[in-house]
Homo-oligomer: A and B are copies of this chain.
Amino acid sequence: MRPFTAPQLNPASETGWRRTWFDIIYRHDTPVSRNFDLLLVVAILASVLAVMLDSVASIHLRYARLLYGLEWMFTLLFTVEYALRLLVVRRPLRYALSIWGVIDLLSILPTYLSLLIPGSQSLLVVRVLRILRLFRILKLTRYVEESGVLVQALWRSRRKIFVFIFAVVTIVVIAGALMYAIEGPDNGFDNIPLSMYWAIITVATVGFGDIVPLTTTGRFITSVLVLIGYSIIAVPTGIYTAELIGNLREMDQEARSHDTRGCPGCDLEGHARDAHHCRRCGHRLPVPMA
């Protein structure tokens, strides 16, 4: 996971309108750019809401024209924003091919496509992905530290979680094949992939109930599967909690060892709070500050 590299200004013009718009669009720390961010968030949420409402039959019947107008308005707005982003950034192609650039493009394309191929409008739902942009903006608010801790803990436990997911998938494959062999198409377990879908729904304790075991053996295996699922749900929680607490303890120890005295003799830092002498050269240390 390569850390996201901030976009850089198109060097063509260090000053001028490009500089102005680059600061507005890509920076998030000036009043103007913050207002732009706010406007963008409102526009994204409003356009997503419009797509949502348009999908409701009764609303579509009455407000189809209004919503159609809004769709074009948002599309044009986002098109202008997309064009600006490409114009002012240093490496337009790189931005266009980045995940954010692709989402931006996909969120305007369906409306234009619908002129050529009627019905492709329904692809507009892709626009909801733009909501992810909110996360990038949020990253710059006070929530940055909190989400940082959460994501860091997730990232540090990624291998353990991968092992866990692998174990769950193995259980699902075996349980799916077993249930297909036992229950079979007569009881709704039409094929192994469908049985595996059922096993995932069951082991994760969702249990839709559209497919259920009807034989005694099938029910017994389901019981075992459910108890396994019930027990191993502890595993990701345990992994994640241990990681979060580990983080906490580290911060704790860092805070405790917040002794900033440098040795007058050898410049060594990081002494224990109760140390009177440097642990390397034995030189007397200054009295620590409260």
A-side residues, CB < 8 A to B, are 48, 51-52, 55-57, 122-123, 125-126, 128-129, 131-132, 134-135, 138, 142-143, 146-147, 149-150, 153-154, 159-166, 168, 170, 173-174, 177-178, 180-181, 185, 190-194, 196-197, 200-202, 204-210, 212, 216, 219-220, 222-223, 226-227, 229-231, 233-246, 248-249, 252, 267, 269, 271-272, 274-284
Contact = CB atoms under 8 A, between A and B. Distances in A.
19 contacts: A55-B192, A56-B190, A56-B191, A57-B190, A125-B181, A135-B170, A138-B163, A146-B163, A147-B163, A168-B230, A201-B207, A205-B230, A207-B207, A208-B212, A209-B210, A269-B274, A272-B272, A274-B279, A278-B279
Contact of A276 (B48, B238, B279): B279
A280 B281 contact: no
B230 A128 contact: no
B237 A233 contact: yes
Contacts of A143: 159, 162-163
Nearest to A56: B191
Copies of the polypeptide in the assembly: 4
Nearest to A203: B230
Contacts of A165: 227, 231
Given A197-B222, A212-B210, A239-B244, A160 B170 contact: no
Contact of A192 (B125, B162, B269): B125
Contacts of A229: 204, 206
Contacts of A206: 202, 205-207, 226, 229
B192 A231 contact: no
A71 to B, nearest CB: 14
Contacts of A159: 142-143, 146
